Amino acid sequence: MGGFVFYDTETTGIETSFDQILQFAAIHTDSDLNELDRIEIRCRLLPGITPSPAAMYITGVKAHQLIDSDTPSHYEMMCILRCKLLEWSPAIFIGYNSIAFDEHLLRSAFYKTLHPPYLTNTNGNARSDVMRMIQAAHLFSPGAIKIPNGANGKPSFKLDLLAPANGFNHQNAHDALADVEATIFMCSLLSERAPDVWSSFMRFSQKSAVLDYVSSESIFCFTDFFFGKPFSCLATSIGKNPENSAEIYIYNLGVDPNELLNLDRDKLMARLNTQPKPIRRMRCNACPIVVSAEDAPETAIGKTIKIEELEKRAEFLAANENIRQHLIDAFESEKTDYEPSIHVEEQLYEGFFNQKDQILLEKFHNIEWKYRAELVQEFEDVRLKKLGNQLIYVEHPHLLAEAIRQEHDYEHKMRILNTDRKVPWFTMMNARLELKKIIENCTETDKQFYQDHLTLIEQRIEAASLI
């Protein structure tokens, strides 16, 4: 691998399918964390996106910055980013809480700009997450990293508190580049003070390494964090999810499988949902925290059971495929089936693009704009047709056929003027109401900041009403 790519985003909000990246920063380092290159870039606000007043205040983004003509468009920014990230590949892509947030936002941005979305974990790239490393160090190397308390008096893993508590000057917290530098600082501490945790995460940044480990170890310790609190159990793998090659089912060996064999369906379902839960899913491509059974913390479920009994339980499950499948089927039957979203922005994970469309995606970015509207009609995947027309509508609407342009005019107008609080995006009408309430109660120092954002929102609402 070509070292590490540490990255961070600052955004219009927290809805990864509907908000957008406003600032992206990344630093490319070698395996010893020595900087090789960096990028920091901002872009303009997309016409249909409503920035959250809270997000703008936290990141300090002023209204005029959102429409600055000297900054690239969202599409132009994503083209620049893709070129730079590919130049640095293959590498391990690392962020802070990136698996849960930035990764999805980056994928969504590539998807909506007609780029292959899975750049960070394909073609030799892998990914990891420093927040999970810090959590693991807190459990397996206590004291190596100082964990500050949050406002509620409980340990906090927020980067803007964590980095200063450990000696980093983080005056520009919530600036993407400053957060990247803070993330690298924390990694340098981890590699020095908790080397076993650091090396484990480097090893398991690749899905294949995780799969190999849990397949070869009949007993291992699995750990996750829920609301900042650790959960650990001694476990064994009982099967792969046929619908997701990156996901396996693990069995909590602290629960005797014999207890489940004679339960009727209703009682079995109830037991599977009662703590300690016998079965869990483990995402092998999402930085799972796995260590050997010998290194399990004292709080791990099953730790007080003799190793001979744990081995007996693991061997029993390994030798009985029918029982494993019965337990998996019961576990899966509780899964909620969700209706596919009607919004193309939320359809990223509803299948991969076929080979023909992948070739057309590459071609789209290498031809002149005047030919792109025609090329979009060649896509077989309806998502790409919709996204392609949306992209052209934002960048060069005059190139669309009249009927298609009018359709997008109407959709744009409805999105801007929507007053339904149940839609999955933050609406401009609601932003206007929120900003007016904030202005009534904020300090004089902040009033102009919020007033400028309100003016921008009202200008966009007025423009949409004239379409």
Split at pLDDT 50, 70, 90, the class of 334 is confident
Residue 173 is predicted with a pLDDT of 85
Residue 336 is predicted with a pLDDT of 74
Using alpha carbons, list the distances in angstroms from residue 424 to 89, 345, 382, 413.
34, 10, 21, 17
Cβ within 8 Å of residue 392, ≥6 positions away: 369, 372, 373, 376, 399, 400
Residue 162 is predicted with a pLDDT of 97
Residue 335 pLDDT > 80, yes or no? no
CA 372 to centroid of chain Cα atoms:
30
Residue 111 is predicted with a pLDDT of 98
Q: What is the mean pLDDT of residues 428-434?
A: 95
Residue 1 is predicted with a pLDDT of 56
Q: Which two tokens stand for residue 22?
A: 């406003």
Q: What is the mean pLDDT of residues 418-436?
A: 91
Q: Which two tokens stand for residue 158?
A: 């927020």
Residue 171 pLDDT > 90, yes or no? no
Averaged pLDDT of the chain: 95
Global pTM reads 0.94
pLDDT tens digits, residue range 305-325?
A: 999 999 999 999 999 999 999
Residue 96 is predicted with a pLDDT of 98
Split at pLDDT 50, 70, 90, the class of 449 is very high
pLDDT tens digits, residue range 3-44?
A: 999 999 999 999 999 999 999 999 999 999 999 999 999 999
Residue 337 is predicted with a pLDDT of 74
Q: What is the mean pLDDT of residues 276-302?
A: 95
Find where tokens 């600032």 sit: 23
Q: Which residue has the higher pLDDT, 71 or 172?
A: 71
For 264-381, where are the alpha helices, taking DSSP H only?
265-272, 307-319, 321-333, 355-364, 369-376
Measured CA to CA, the distance from residue 428 to residue 458 in angstroms comes to 8
Split at pLDDT 50, 70, 90, the class of 421 is confident
Residue 290 pLDDT > 70, yes or no? yes
pLDDT tens digits, residue range 193-228?
A: 999 999 999 999 999 999 999 999 999 999 999 888
Report phi then psi at 222, rounded to 5: -110, 135
| DSSP, res 155 | B
pLDDT tens digits, residue range 362-400?
A: 999 999 999 999 999 999 999 999 999 999 999 999 999
pLDDT tens digits, residue range 129-169?
A: 999 999 999 999 999 999 999 999 999 999 999 999 999 99
pLDDT tens digits, residue range 86-131?
A: 999 999 999 999 999 999 999 999 999 999 999 999 999 999 999 9
**155 dihedral zone (left: phi>0; alpha: psi -120 to 50; beta):** beta
Residue 184 is predicted with a pLDDT of 98
